[in-house]
Structure 1
């Protein structure tokens, strides 16, 4: 006799699920219940949040976050083509922007698809089918024609392909995750793993640290405006941007995730010139956000100094994995990172539009604009 199907619940706040029940589905994940609660507190504008849970005896056996937004089809486009798509968007905004429902989060590193520890692998496809049924019903109720899975991890992708693939969801490369395994021997041990030229270059850059004061903190109430200004400056210098974070977001994450969340501040005399917000577990340091004052980037080699600061931090505390953010892939590969693929999957409920979007996807794929992402796709082909 087959067991009864789990009850389906769709919540507007993660408060409806206990922290213990949610985190049990994601053991050891730095972006747990408290992270999603912080996003609700001060997350990016223009998004609505939902959480789908499959319940047995009132307890979740499968969960996933969902966001709803208006999505521009040229979000991943970079370079000269971006100017063309922006012109099209101004002339025909309804053509370029669609209502989107997506599994995942605009601010999480990966799509969080979680199962309770007692769920056997053999049952996961059935539960994911039921979860996708609930997701697609939600998308229809919210009048979202475009449905997506944002940043499905390399580990979860076989399950997504098996279940979402047969529903017609089309995969395309997402932003990969940079992962660095910390060797023994501290910072010198790490430098020894790099090429001679890179090692020499980093040691030269490291001398610029003498002109900076580095401060590790768990709160930024006195410098919220300065941190926000550095974030805005970094966004202005980035071609690729999906979400835009409000000034209070960083303080909210630090409050909700303390002491796991911390921020490193870089001062040149009395001026804050860079920050780096991170989330820590005993085995992993996640580099979430970096903000820099661009006129001083070259003078102090801010990106490389923050990288070495984080590697040293991991080495001192015995943290085995440094996970860096979704950008600057060329330098990260040079610094010893492995790029772990993430995938987007999408489907439009209208077949004609779905066929058009599959053609558009060939133009806006990330591997068309980033050589490291393209190289990674070739390796995994």
Structure 2
């Protein structure tokens, strides 16, 4: 079934996900419905870090933690910011189709439905609202999703952008940006001959793994074959930005130009070299400048580290997850604990109260 709603990334990225799914994912792409996948999902994945740590510290956790891992069906992919939907199905038709096909799965999640997103059309936003209402009427639990960071490209230059931040943040970031004097930035389009070098792409994958393993959230471990496929695809609009300190590769960032936006997808760091040169912050400003020069509307910076990205000047848009829970007992429990899975939403509310 053709997906024509909510797409912020090139189809090539979705195709690579379907062909080379993350470890432990069973991906399905039926002719008469949207792509979905099965995996064992840890219910603690989206919890606030502090609460997650408290639960892990409970007596006997290592003995009963497997009870929190449920075989789950996800509608969507993990390589797109939003769930890709099809205008061929009305919201009611999609809800009915799902209810017919999820009876044997303990947990089904329609992930990352956009809510008043600035990146898509009014029709697409309205479809999500209709789907949420229809699903809630049919027994789905609606859960607030994560904070998607973005920056409107409406500034003239770096100084103009920094001038919008607080004095203390400007001072801190200007200090970090001095590391740019020690870094050479190289920009290559995906499909470049350099990505035919298996040893080089393996090095990039190792840098990706460095970031993956130090992250608080471990959900989708992408494969070397996936990375090789997207790096060698010259028709996807992908851009790889490399950060060199002398002859050492400190890190890289893979972004896509699509629908007039620059979408930041994957990053890899060579620790501690990347940390010593403030590469996280450097890459933020290099991406902003790249987006400005290319005439992009938005820099879409992803889901992770909302607190840090807020300090860097990001704005946020949110999503909603729709969850079907087969077990009445589990449904009762999770319905009453729903708020603990909405960490980003609570964080954002607290930030708005402070401002």
Instruction: Confirm or deny that 1:48 pairs with 2:26.
Output: yes
Task: Structure 1 unaligned segments of length 5 or more: list them.
Answer: 1-16, 55-62, 117-123
SS in 2 for 1:318: coil
CA distance in 2, matches of 1:168, 1:257: 44
Instruction: Confirm or deny that 1:339 pairs with 2:316.
Output: yes
Q: Which residue of 2 aligns with 1:72?
A: 42
Give the alignment's TM-score, normalised by structure 1. Answer: 0.79
Q: CA deviation at 1:26?
A: 3.6
CA distance in 2, matches of 1:164, 1:376: 30
Q: Which residue of 2 aligns with 1:375?
A: 350
CA distance in 1, matches of 2:352, 2:143: 10
Q: CA deviation at 1:136?
A: 3.1
Superposition map of 1:128-167 within 5 A: 128-140=91-103, 143-155=104-116, 156=125, 157-167=128-138
SS in 2 for 1:340: strand
| CA distance 1:264–1:98, change in 2 (3 Å) | same
CA distance in 1, matches of 2:250, 2:320: 34
Deviations 1:208-247 (A, max 9, x none): 1121121112243432222111111112211122211122
- Aligned partners of 1:225 and 1:247 also within 8 Å: yes
- Aligned partners of 2:148 and 2:301 also within 8 Å: yes
Q: Which residue of 1 aligns with 2:122?
A: none
Moved more, 293-302 or 317-326: 293-302
Q: CA deviation at 1:293?
A: 2.3
The number of residues matched between the two structures is 336
Residue among 69, 83, 91 paired with 1:111: 83
Computed over aligned residues only, the root mean square deviation of the Cα atoms, in angstroms, reads 2.7
Q: CA deviation at 1:192?
A: 3.0
- Aligned partners of 2:262 and 2:298 also within 8 Å: yes
Instruction: Confirm or deny that 1:33 pairs with 2:11.
Output: yes
CA distance in 1, matches of 2:351, 2:293: 31
Q: CA deviation at 1:94?
A: 5.1
Residue among 252, 273, 285 paired with 1:296: 273
Larger relative contact order (Cα-Cα within 8 Å, sequence gap ≥ 6):
2
Q: CA deviation at 1:189?
A: 3.0
CA distance in 2, matches of 1:245, 1:374: 32
Q: Which residue of 2 aligns with 1:7?
A: none
SS in 2 for 1:64: coil
Residue among 262, 265, 272 paired with 2:249: 272
- Aligned partners of 2:13 and 2:79 also within 8 Å: no
Instruction: Confirm or deny that 1:102 pairs with 2:57.
Output: no
SS in 2 for 1:100: strand
Q: CA deviation at 1:133?
A: 2.4
- Aligned partners of 2:95 and 2:138 also within 8 Å: no
Moved more, 228-237 or 183-192: 183-192
Deviations 1:60-96 (A, max 9, x none): xxx6332211111112232363363487664235521
CA distance in 1, matches of 2:100, 2:351: 35
Q: Which residue of 2 aligns with 1:92?
A: 64
Moved more, 155-164 or 144-153: 155-164
Task: Structure 2 unaligned segments of length 5 or more: list them.
Answer: 117-124
Residue among 281, 286, 296 paired with 1:309: 286
Superposition map of 1:207-246 within 5 A: 207-217=178-188, 218=190, 219=192, 220-222=195-197, 223-246=200-223
